[in-house]
Chains A and B, each alone.
Chain A
Amino acid sequence: MSLELSHGLLSKLVRASVLAVFTVLLAFPFYWMVITSFKQNVDLYTMENNPFLFNAKPTLAHLKFLFSETRFVRWLGNTAFVGIVVVAITLVLAVPAAYALARLAGRWGERLGIAIFLTYLVPPTLLFIPLSRVIAFLGLQDSLWALILAYPTFTVPFSIWLLMGFFKSIPRELEDAAMVDGLTRFGAFLKLMIPISTSGILTVVIFAFTLVTQEFVYALTFISSESNQMIGTGIPIFLVRGDVYYWGALMAACLIASLPVAFLYNLFLDRFIAGFTVGAVK
């Protein structure tokens, strides 16, 4: 709506206030993470101090603690490793499947696609109990491979849905032209569709990776030892010693783990939205 409202100044003011209120409400916890990460413990835990000020000098002690005396770096590594492998598995399973369902299988392809999407609605909080037994049966308990095995159950369905919509938006004539030029159907897929679809595939990569970093239930259920934790579980659980919360280090860890994901997400936001709304917005 680009209609120039005749009551320009008032509406601008109202909009600015609305944005200010919501931005503060939504972003404040992260701002507070920043502040807390750099405040000395003395400052943090003295009741009389105004928490909005640095009553003692800012400190890097929490960061030092985090990186040298906890397994934080290891958890980052674990998450990255699981993320990369799961993304690879997701691509191998979802890209061909999405193509086949979008192009080759006709009406049944459409239906199968919807059925696959509906499995996305079967939540980890339902499957985690039986899956934990399957993992134990396979001898994968407390192993990152348990997560690598389980995570595609939610990355693949949504990726298929997203890519189906994406492939459908590419005109069929392109592949027809390629096949007239001599490529086989599969050759057209490899040499034509995949290169054209780089942005869709990139979106799937980002999306699947962020899903891995955000996951909690499986990581909590399958992994027990401290060194095998993911960041989503290691930070809330193992940065607490006994009943004592190391808030400074905790907040620093939260910040470091959240920001890269946030950047990636923002870059691909439009595609992500398209994935959710591809059916509804016509």
Chain B
Amino acid sequence: MAITSAPVKSVGASQSPFLSTAMFAPAVLYILLLVGGPFLLAIFYAFSDARIGNTELHYVGLENFRSILQSPSFRIAIRNSLIFTIGSQIVVIVSANILAIALESAFRGRGFIRFLILLPWVAPISLGAIGWKWLLDSIYSVISWVLVALHFFKPFSAPMWLGEPQLAIASVLLVHSWRIIPFSTVILLAGRTAIPKDIPEAAAVDGAGFWRTQLQIVIPMMRPILSVAVLFGLIFTFTDMTVVYILTAGGPFDSTQTLPSLAFTMGIQGSDLAAGAAISLFLVPLLVILAYFMLRLARRAEVS
């Protein structure tokens, strides 16, 4: 076993606590004030009867939560949040893995293809969503036009992609996946290039074909990177209200509402701050779970 000398501790690490505090204090303070503070305020509002325009505030205990939990649109919102988040993530992970495999080896024009593939992720969310709104327009959708031209539908009877509840849900799920696939793809691609070249070669010499190598060797080795991609993908989808707001505004008839979009609809548009705050607090449990997994991932990376 090689004998290595212990790393030398750097000068000054423990000699300047004042400097180090001064350097990170502004950032920490800012975050405490503008994230911690409002977070506590949200909890406070959830237990009150705050409304926009009212100067008075009363403590109402669990009343807000009780009424929310009984409201059907809330139950739909929770259901949709889970459907969109988990459903899109499944689509994303499968697609991103396939795309990462396809993009792995260099070829002419790869940079340009990568640019095109990244567009859904880098464009502002609302603008991509508006683009889809045009593509899925009930009258002028080019997708409908193609399907009619291929005789899947009779003229003028193509489905209302954003107008029928089931289709609207599918459309929102599609747009969420569309947005996240590029993000996951580039992360997985980075993970793949980090795998030493001789591992897949050893697998080939051992007799493994392409799919066995991918599924039993390469992808299992990518577990940390896969976790990063999945965790962030879940967070980005779960906490987003933009796609729903732009595509369907929560409709038709609240059938595509999600927790964040419902919080916005009730809290800001409906001026019921208390209800909005209470709804948005339901994001916290899943976020805590995700944060836990993030921490585990970080700790495991430190140890290995």
Chain A residues engaging chain B, CB cutoff 8 angstroms: 1-3, 5, 11, 15, 18-19, 22-23, 25-30, 32-33, 36, 44-45, 47, 50-52, 92-94, 96-97, 99-101, 103-106, 109-110, 112, 114, 116-119, 121-134, 149-150, 152-153, 156-157, 160, 172, 175-176, 179, 185-186, 189, 210, 213-214, 216-217, 220-221, 231-233, 235-236, 245, 247, 250-251, 253-254, 257-258, 261-262, 265-266, 269-270, 273-274, 276-277, 279-282
Contacts and interface: CB of A to CB of B under 8 A. Distances in A.
A279 B298 CA distance: 6
B239 A156 contact: no
Contacts of B287: 121-123
Interface string B18-30: 0111011011101
B27 A93 contact: yes
B232 A276 contact: yes
20 contacts: A1-B192, A3-B200, A23-B113, A23-B116, A23-B117, A32-B135, A44-B140, A52-B142, A112-B28, A121-B291, A126-B281, A153-B31, A217-B264, A231-B124, A236-B129, A250-B134, A254-B127, A254-B131, A257-B127, A258-B123
B35 interface: yes
B284 A126 contact: yes
A282 B301 contact: yes
B65 interface: no
Contact of B128 (A29, A101, A153, A156): A29
A160 B27 contact: yes
B126 A235 contact: yes
A104 B125 contact: no
Which among A117, A122, A149, A157 has the greatest number of chain B C-beta atoms within 10 A?
A: A122
B145 A93 contact: no
A97 B27 contact: yes
B10 A130 contact: no
Contact of B24 (A112, A176, A266): A112
Interface of chain B, main secondary structure: helix
Interface of B: 10-17, 19-21, 23-24, 26-28, 30-31, 34-39, 41-42, 44-45, 50, 95, 98-99, 102-105, 113-120, 122-132, 134-135, 139-140, 142, 145, 156, 178, 181-182, 186-187, 190-192, 194-195, 197, 200-201, 204, 210, 218, 224-225, 227-228, 232, 235, 239-242, 245-246, 259-260, 263-264, 267-268, 273, 276-277, 280-281, 283-284, 287, 290-291, 294-295, 297-298, 301-302, 304
10 tightest CB-CB pairs across the interface, nearest first?
A104-B20, A123-B239, A125-B260, A130-B41, A100-B23, A97-B27, A258-B123, A280-B224, A130-B38, A96-B23
A280 B12 contact: no
Contacts of A25: 178
Contact of B119 (A30, A152, A156, A270): A30
Given A22-B117, A130-B38, A185-B19, A175 B10 contact: yes
A251 B259 CA distance: 29
A173 to B, nearest CB: 8
Interface of chain A, main secondary structure: helix
B87 to A, nearest CB: 17
B10 A172 contact: yes
B181 A26 contact: yes
A280 B227 contact: yes
Given A130-B42, A149-B34, A235 B127 contact: yes
Given A156-B30, A279-B297, 17 more contacts: A3-B204, A15-B102, A29-B132, A96-B26, A97-B23, A104-B17, A126-B283, A130-B39, A130-B277, A133-B41, A231-B127, A236-B246, A266-B115, A276-B228, A277-B187, A280-B228, A282-B301
A1 B197 contact: yes
A22 B95 contact: yes
